[in-house]
Every structure is written in C-alpha cells, then in structure tokens.
C-alpha cells in the first residue's frame, strides 16, 4: 500500500465524488451481480428509491428496519 491518499479512495458511482474510505462513510449496494458505491450524500438522498427498485445492502436494510420501527411506534401512538 502506498503513501498516497488515493490508495484509500473510491469514487461515488452517482456523483463521482472521491470518498476517503478511512475518513468518510462508504455505502455499497447491490442488485443481483451489480454493485454500486455511494457517498454519504447520495445514500441519504437516494436509498429509498434504490430499495424500491430492488437494490439492497447492509445500510439499506438497516434504514428499512428503522423505518418499520418508526411506523410501528407511530401506529401505536395513534391508537
């Protein structure tokens, strides 16, 4: 491994931002054999649409789990 910061970087497949993997969140989503790498901003903006389109990944599954919990609490509070 070299001394260059570029050794620690991946490019966001959506916005082309160079993500420093040691300093920033990197999001990997998959659909079948396809894989995409997203930066934090793109993930925050597009994860719901990606999930609805069949993309998955640990972070998407975690966000869906949180949404289900919120919906459950909301339904209980409305009773």
33, 63, 31, 32: which is closest to 47 by C-alpha?
63
Taking the C-alpha atoms of residue 77 and residue 51, their distance in angstroms, rounded to an integer, is 27
Determine which of 1-5, 27-31, 52-56 has the lowest per-residue pLDDT on average.
1-5
Give how many domains the chain has, as a whole number.
1
Given phi > 0 = left and psi -120 to 50 = alpha, else beta, which region is 39? beta
pLDDT greater than 50 at residue 2: no
pLDDT greater than 70 at residue 60: yes
Band (pLDDT 50/70/90 cuts) for residue 1 is very low
* pTM of model > 0.75: yes
The parent domain of residue 53 ranges over 5-77
65 vs 75, more confident = 65
């Amino acid at each position: 491994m070299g001394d260059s910061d570029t050794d620690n970087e991946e490019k966001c497949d959506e916005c082309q931002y160079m993500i420093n993997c040691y300093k920033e969140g990197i999001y990997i989503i998959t659909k079948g054999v396809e894989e995409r790498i997203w930066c934090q901003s793109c993930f925050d903006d597009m994860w719901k649409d990606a999930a609805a389109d069949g993309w998955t990944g640990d972070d998407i599954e975690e966000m869906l789990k949180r949404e289900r919990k919120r919906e459950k609490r909301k339904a209980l509070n409305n009773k």
